[in-house]
Structure 1
Amino acid sequence: MLPLIRGLLFQLGLVGSILVFGLLVPPLIWPFSRPVRYRVLTLWGRFNVWWLRVSCGIDYRVHGREHIDPSRPHVVLSKHQSAWETVAFVAIFPMQTWVLKRELMRIPLFGWTLSMLDPVPIDREGGRQALENLVAEGKQRLDQGRWMIVFPEGTRVAPGEHGRYRQGGAMLAVRTGYPVLPVALNSGSFWPKKGLRRYPGTVEVVIGAPIETAGRKPVEVLSEAESWIETTMTEIEPRPATLSTEKPDGQ
């Protein structure tokens, strides 16, 4: 029961913050520059990282920060287990934007505000044309100095699972010449894909060494990133057995 109470408490703060940052903030910051809008709007993510720690006891630890080079944009290829990383990455990586499902842009308030941060929405049924659009728009963002966050599995996968890695992010990196930064994490052990239960603990985020892309094929870059991510996942998983089912009250 306690994980559910924690989750409901966090959800109250999450919904309240969406109302504030989705309804009240955008009209006030619209006239300002992109960097100013970014700093203000990403306070939403930072607030919810803090609120998650206070309400649910979920913190995080980053390994490999030395691989983050703020002087040069990167294409981040990350494991995707939870909504946690969509909230927390603004506190870990430099100024960024995201490759995401087009449907997210249609969510009232959330999607409208998200559009102010210039994400790259993709039609997952769009085939080759969707990939070309991803490369063209992604290059524009990278050339502006923004990091691109890509979840190559395309959707959240449960702890212990391995989804199919898609080539879009690797193709973007190869075609533009920017390096790939692989990321492994175990957020799904604490913020599961489904349900409202939240389990206290520390999310381990492991950042690998940059993968240079010049002169390489997307399939080679993707294979190297996938191999590193999945190998690293075996070191931070499996999650403890006590996290695989609901914990007894008071634990």
Structure 2
Amino acid sequence: MLRALRSALFLGFLTVTVIPWALSVVLVSPFVKSATLYWMCVGWLATATRGAKFICGVNYRLQGMHNLPTAEDGLAAVVLAVKHQSTWETFALPMLMPHPLCYVFKRELLWVPFFGWAIGRLDMVHIDRSRSTLAWRKVAEQGQRYMKQGNWVIMFPEGTRMARGEQGEYKSGATRLAITAGVPVVPIAVTSARCWPRRSFMLRPGTIDVSVGPPLDSKGKRPDALMREVEAWIEAEMRRLDPEAYPPSAAVADRAPDSASSGASAAL
């Protein structure tokens, strides 16, 4: 009962705070730079993440930030390939990352009142997943353009939120983009379903682990082979971070290589 009450309070908190924040973004969008709009939105995302902590007891641990490339490394951009288990990481990662993030997401999110209106003003890539060829072309063109502006592109290779302890099919959209743009891929493991189950606002107290892996070089590699490297690192790290979610005998599944046309479906 207490968990349900706290979760309802958190949902109400999100609703009450997102309306004025989103309206402010929409109203000022014609007059300010895209980077300013982005950090305005990150302000609300940080508020939402802190709300989850103080209302529902959802904390987080962050490790591996030293793996992220810096200006001294001579790398202007990367593609982040992230394990997707809940809404939490979509809120928290822009707050945690040192560069603006460009999400690749399904265009239906633009129709969500207030929230969708705000993200529609940002430098993001929203795609029609039913039209894979056109979607991939948009990801390649806009993704490279936004990376040249200093953004990091973030994609969820499994394509949707996975339940705790589950492993989806890793599609090669993120690695195709990295190879096309000539940038590394950074794998990230997130155990958010421990506290925020998939497709639910019934949060439970606990600690979410976020682990940033080493950059994987994309030069001279095929998208499916590079994605196998991403998958192997993320799934091994998930089992290390959240061993109780996986049977002791569970190993990272071997999967057939993705076809080139599968890339666009890896958006969310």
TM-score scaled to structure 2, two decimals? 0.86
The question of whether the paired residues in 1 share the 8 Å contact of 2:77 and 2:151 is answered with yes
Root-mean-square deviation (Å):
1.5
Matches within 5 A, 1:207-222: 207-222=212-227
Counterpart amino acid of residue 189 in structure 2: A
Are 2:114 and 1:117 aligned? no
Residue in 2 that maps onto 1:27: 27
- Displacement of 1:167: 1.2
For the residue of structure 2 that corresponds to 1:42, the secondary structure is helix
The worse-fitting range, judged by mean Cα deviation, of 106-115 and 208-217 is 106-115
Q: 1:239 to 1:28 in 2, by over 3 A?
A: farther
- Displacement of 1:160: 0.5
Matches within 5 A, 1:1-251: 1-71=1-71, 72-93=76-97, 94-239=99-244
Counterpart amino acid of residue 32 in structure 2: F
Residue in 1 that maps onto 2:259: none
* Residues matched between the structures, number: 241
Partners of 1:156 and 1:113 in 2: CA distance:
22
Partners of 1:196 and 1:213 in 2: CA distance:
37
Partners of 2:178 and 2:193 in 1: CA distance:
27
Partners of 1:83 and 1:39 in 2: CA distance:
19
Q: Percent identity?
A: 34
- Displacement of 1:239: 4.5
Partners of 1:238 and 1:218 in 2: CA distance:
29
What's the CA shift string for 1:122-181, capped at 9, x where partnerless? 222212232122111111111111001101111100011011111111100000001100
TM-score scaled to structure 1, two decimals? 0.91
What's the CA shift string for 1:73-106, capped at 9, x where partnerless? 2100000000000100011112111011111112
What's the CA shift string for 1:7-49, capped at 9, x where partnerless? 1111111111221122234213530112211111210111111
Q: Gaps (5+ residues) in structure 1?
A: 242-251
Partners of 1:32 and 1:24 in 2: CA distance:
12
For the residue of structure 1 that corresponds to 2:39, the secondary structure is helix
